[in-house]
Amino acid sequence: MRRRGVHCNPSTRFAAMSDAPFGTFFVPGPTEVRPEILAQLTRPMMQHRNRAFEAMFARIDAGLRDVLLTARPVYVGATSATGFMEMAIRNAAAGPILSLVNGGFSERFALVAESCGRQVERVVVPWGATFDLNAVEDALTQTRFAAVTVAQSETSTGVLTDVHEVAELAHRHGTIVLVDSVSGAGGAKITVDGWGLDYVLTGSQKALALPAGLAFAVASAEYVDRARSLPDRGFYFDIVQYDKFAARNQTPSTPATSLLYALEAQMGDIGREGIERRWERHLAMRDATIEWVYGLRERRGVDVSVVAPEGARSPTVTVIRLPLGMSPVELRNAIEVRGYTIGGGYGELAATTVRIGHMGDHTLEGLRRCLHACETAIAELAERRRLVRA
Ligand SMILES: *Cc1c(COP(=O)(O)O)cnc(C)c1O
């Protein structure tokens, strides 16, 4: 089949992708899925109200519990991760919500709460900044909140928040913490039971390197028990139903079986890698990316920098501020021509940054090849726009 670069029709694009080597797509969600995992999607359908399905679901649950380090069941939903943000709010005890907002996704959590009719108070810091826990403590002292929402890895800025610390603070003030670990789990260290996290959600298409369409959540037994007495939990995201069905290795409504095939295979591979080694691989990819950004300043004289401050940088995504006058769109196109895809900036940072998603099944060597292509493209653009410092 003939190939025509990036502008080809869908059928030729599929053919081109299936024999492309893994390691070219560095977007912070969706992330690149290995061909052998994608191949699972072509397996025949199975019925789900039977033993064979339940055995598969039990193996998946064991794998997910090892990823999240919890003894609780992991709920599996056919929804993007935002659905399980809604689950977090709809099933939380009545009362106001405190949202820690430091970017686009943590703001989304606040909006979800408001759209579910909750009164929401925000602790807001500028995009790229970390939270001052004293400000969080002040808010917790003044009001009795039903829950605190927080994003562990804020994918719009690349800032990592210590959710263990936030959980301890929340608990000291008699409230619970609802954690968005969508670009965290499977890449950044998280230990649900060890850190006493009351509710944690994640999605399939970030550090777990699966196709989009599944969300996962863990909730403490206390959270689920309290939910039982709430009158308006809704239907699709009713955690009491999820909990009841999970106990029988089932889902309340039809599972996305094809995605579960891929999930089961991926859980096997993650188990073989080991979650701690997976976290270490992500830290190594983060460190290589940051070192590259600051090396680029030295080698090429271009004014690039990492948005997230030292000490709070996510292991899964790095957001890079470009020199004034360098267009993120132009840069991404120049990188695309060299065979690699990186992410655009998000929300407030769309016009000034690009994002490199170094998460999922990427390797340090593969990432270095991508960074090399990025460097050539940046140097070329900087030269053309005369953005090189004297
Ligand atoms: C991607 C992402 C989401 C949204 O997930 P969807 O699957 O698109 O609903 C939420 N929070 C964070 C931190 C994310 O990275």
Residue after which a domain boundary falls, among 273, 301, 318: 273
- CB of 155 within 6 A of ligand 1: the answer is yes
From 82, 200, 204, 205, the mutation candidate for ligand 1 (largest count of ligand atoms within 8 A of CB) is 82
> Is the beta carbon of 151 within 6 A of some atom in ligand 1?
yes
Is the CB of residue 200 below 6 angstroms from any atom belonging to ligand 1? no
208 pLDDT above the threshold of 90: yes
Query: Which CATH number fits the domain that encloses residue 294?
Result: 3.90.1150.10
Residues 115 and 137 in one domain: yes
Structure tokens at 59: 């193996």
Q: Taking 70 as the threshold, does the pLDDT of residue 14 lie above it?
A: no
94 and 205 part of one domain = yes
How far does the centroid of ligand 1 lie from the alpha carbon of residue 155, in Å?
A: 8
Q: Where does the pLDDT of residue 7 fall: very low under 50, low under 70, confident under 90, or very high at 90 and above?
A: very low
Domain ranges, residue 338: 10-33+275-384
Buried-exposed string 277-314: b where 16+ CB fall within 10 A, e elsewhere: ebbebbbebbebbbebbeebeeebebbbebbbeeebbb
Where residue 21 falls among pLDDT bands split at 50, 70, 90? confident
For residue 105 and ligand 1, the question of a CB distance below 6 A is answered with: yes
Residue 389 pLDDT class (50, 70, 90 cuts): low
% of residues, the chain, pLDDT over 70: 94
Q: Looking at residue 237, what is its pLDDT?
A: 98
Do 234 and 291 fall into the same domain? no
Higher per-residue pLDDT: 81 or 16 = 81
Domains held by the chain: number: 2
pLDDT band with cut points at 50, 70 and 90 for residue 20: low
Same domain flag for 171 and 261: yes
Kindly report, residue by residue over 32-62, the tens digit of the pLDDT: 999 999 999 999 999 999 999 999 999 999 9
Residues 6 or more apart in contact with residue 189 via CB below 8 angstroms: 279, 315
Residue 387 has pLDDT above 80, yes or no: no
Task: Round the average pLDDT of the chain to a whole number and report it.
Answer: 94
Residue 185 lies in a domain: yes
Examine the fold and report which residue of 273, 307, 325 is the final residue of a domain before the chain moves on. Answer: 273
234 shares a domain with 304: no
Q: Which atom of ligand 1 is nearest to the CA of 183?
A: 15
Looking at the structure, tell me whether residues 230 and 338 fall in a common domain. Answer: no
State whether the beta carbon of 202 lies less than 6 angstroms from ligand 1.
no
The CATH number given to whatever domain includes residue 232 is 3.40.640.10
Question: Is residue 359 located within the same domain as residue 259?
Answer: no
- Considering only CA atoms, which of 90, 85, 283, 289 is closest in space to residue 187? 283
Judge if 231 and 297 occupy the same domain.
Answer: no
Regarding the beta carbon of 357 and ligand 1, being less than 6 Å apart is answered no
pLDDT of residue 19: 55
Atom of ligand 1 nearest to the CA of 184: 13
Segment 206-212 mean pLDDT: 98
Provide mean pLDDT across the span 184-204: 98
Same domain? For 54 and 155 the reply is yes
Is residue 16 pLDDT above 90, yes or no? no
Residue 115 confidence class, pLDDT cut points 50, 70, 90 = very high
Residue that is last in its domain, among 239, 273, 307: 273
Residue 181 CA: which ligand 1 atom is closest? 13
Segment 312-352, tens digit of pLDDT? 999 999 999 999 999 999 999 999 999 999 999 999 999 99
